[in-house]
């Protein structure tokens, strides 16, 4: 005779909701099933945050407007989180809430690195914090920078749920030999050195150097990497990351346009045809930035043990297969 605990254990997994027009959706047993046309609560909360803090930012409504950047972008992230869960039945928060939270932690030092690079290139500057102390600027900026990684990775995961990205599943194969990996890492180091020596001319490689160094290291260590994906001709991951960062870039620049505090650009040779504050050619930097964000996150998350659940089940299986293949070749 089955005991209560045996039955509970057998059902502890997932409930399958079937709809003849849609693929099977799996949701945790503890969550009440929601019609597919309704966003999960986290998505509705995200929309509410955007509805509140976007007008507050552009209308400059005192402290609410001044400190609107983080809650506005948290609304963006939660809205996409809800959309991903609704479309696929899985999401970053559902797979591992602590991994999701860790993305905010890693994002802060990640973007401070680029602030350090900007001391050489001087491509952007901030307005609206002139009367604030240095301590306030550091704390306020760190809070704002924390949304970078989850925003890009959440947008990329949403794009992976759209059918047109599946067309990128077959493409050129890249064989990451030892020579290739060594060359990529050396290229990344040269990019960073060039930024220090010739910042006026080398500034475009700001968005390439970290990726060339960290992604090959991730591949060697068996962590999630772009190299592991394209090794078998699957370009969905890099394409979704690049487009995801570009979409984030559009919203960053749009919401920044009428905000205070805000940033402005001074990009040599690119100062023509602006979309919001950003020169149109500057948007090209967001494409490799998506790859760089992915590589940096999984490098540090791998060291800290914070990467569990960061990939969808399908991508996690492919990562393990790629690592086993690379181990056999070695």
Give 177-205 pLDDT, tens digit per residue: 899 999 999 999 999 999 999 999 999 99
- Residue 56 lies inside a defined structural domain of this protein: no
- Note whether residue 223 is domain-resident: yes
Q: Does residue 29 sit within a domain?
A: no
Cis before 231? omega within 30: no
pTM value is 0.84
Domain of 276, in residue numbers: 97-329
Show the tokens assigned to 192. Answer: 């960073």
pLDDT above 60: residue 210: yes
Q: What is the pLDDT of residue 5?
A: 46
Task: Using the predicted structure, report yes or no on whether residue 27 has a pLDDT greater than 60.
Answer: no
At 304, give phi and psi (nearest 5°): -85, -10
Q: Is residue 26 part of a domain?
A: no
Give me the pLDDT at residue 12, please: 40
Per the domain annotation, does 227 fall within a domain?
Answer: yes
In a domain, 38, yes or no: no
Supply the pLDDT for residue 305: 87
Mean pLDDT within 77-100: 93
By C-alpha distance, which of 99, 103, 110 is closest to 141? 110
Question: What is the rounded CA–CA span in Å between residue 217 and residue 70?
Answer: 31
The answer as to whether 39 is a domain residue is no
- Taking the C-alpha atoms of residue 287 and residue 249, their distance in angstroms, rounded to an integer, is 9
pLDDT at 262 over 90: yes
Rounded Cα–Cα distance for residues 302 and 295 (Å): 10
pLDDT tens track for 266-315:
888 888 888 999 999 999 999 999 999 999 999 999 999 887 877 766 66
Is 123 in contact with 278 (CB distance < 8 Å)? no
Q: Is 272 exposed, middle or buried (0-12, 13-18, 19+ CB in 10 A)?
A: exposed
162-166: average pLDDT: 88
Binned at pLDDT 50, 70 and 90, residue 10 comes out as: very low
Q: How confident is the model at residue 129 (pLDDT cuts 50, 70, 90)?
A: confident
Structural domain contains residue 36 = no
- Higher pLDDT pick, 190 / 36: 190
Structural domain total, the chain? 1
- 157 close to 231: Cβ distance less than 8 angstroms: no
């Amino acid at each position: 005779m089955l005991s209560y605990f045996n039955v509970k254990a057998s059902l502890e997994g997932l409930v399958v909701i079937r709809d003849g027009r849609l693929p099977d959706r799996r949701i945790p047993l503890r969550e009440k099933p929601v019609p597919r046309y309704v966003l999960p609560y986290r998505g509705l909360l995200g929309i509410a945050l955007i509805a509140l803090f976007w007008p507050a930012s552009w209308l400059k409504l005192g402290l609410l407007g001044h400190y609107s950047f983080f809650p506005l972008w948290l609304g963006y992230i939660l809205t996409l989180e809800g959309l991903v869960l609704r479309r696929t039945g899985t999401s970053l928060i559902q797979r591992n809430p602590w991994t999701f939270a860790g993305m905010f932690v890693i994002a802060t030092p990640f973007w401070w690195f680029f602030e350090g690079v900007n001391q050489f290139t001087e491509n952007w500057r901030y307005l609206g914090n002139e009367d604030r102390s240095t301590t306030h600027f550091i704390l306020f900026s760190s809070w704002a920078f924390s949304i970078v990684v989850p925003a890009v990775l959440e947008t990329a995961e949403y794009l992976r749920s759209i059918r047109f990205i599946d067309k990128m599943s077959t493409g050129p194969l890249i064989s990451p030999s030892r020579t290739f990996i060594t060359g990529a890492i050396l290229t990344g180091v040269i990019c960073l050195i060039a930024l220090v020596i010739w910042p006026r001319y080398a500034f475009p490689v700001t968005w390439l150097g970290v990726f060339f160094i960290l992604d090959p290291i991730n591949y060697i260590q068996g962590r999630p990497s772009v190299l592991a994906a394209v090794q078998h001709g699957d370009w969905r991951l890099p394409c979704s990351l690049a487009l995801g960062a570009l979409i984030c870039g559009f919203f960053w620049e749009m919401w920044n346009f009428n905000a205070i505090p805000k940033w402005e650009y001074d990009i040599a040779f690119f100062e023509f045809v602006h979309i919001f504050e950003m020169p149109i050619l500057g948007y090209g930097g967001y494409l490799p930035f998506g790859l760089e964000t992915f590589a940096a996150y999984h490098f540090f998350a791998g060291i800290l043990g914070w990467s569990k659940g960061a990939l969808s089940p399908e991508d996690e299986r492919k990562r393990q297969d790629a690592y086993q293949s690379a181990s056999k070749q070695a």
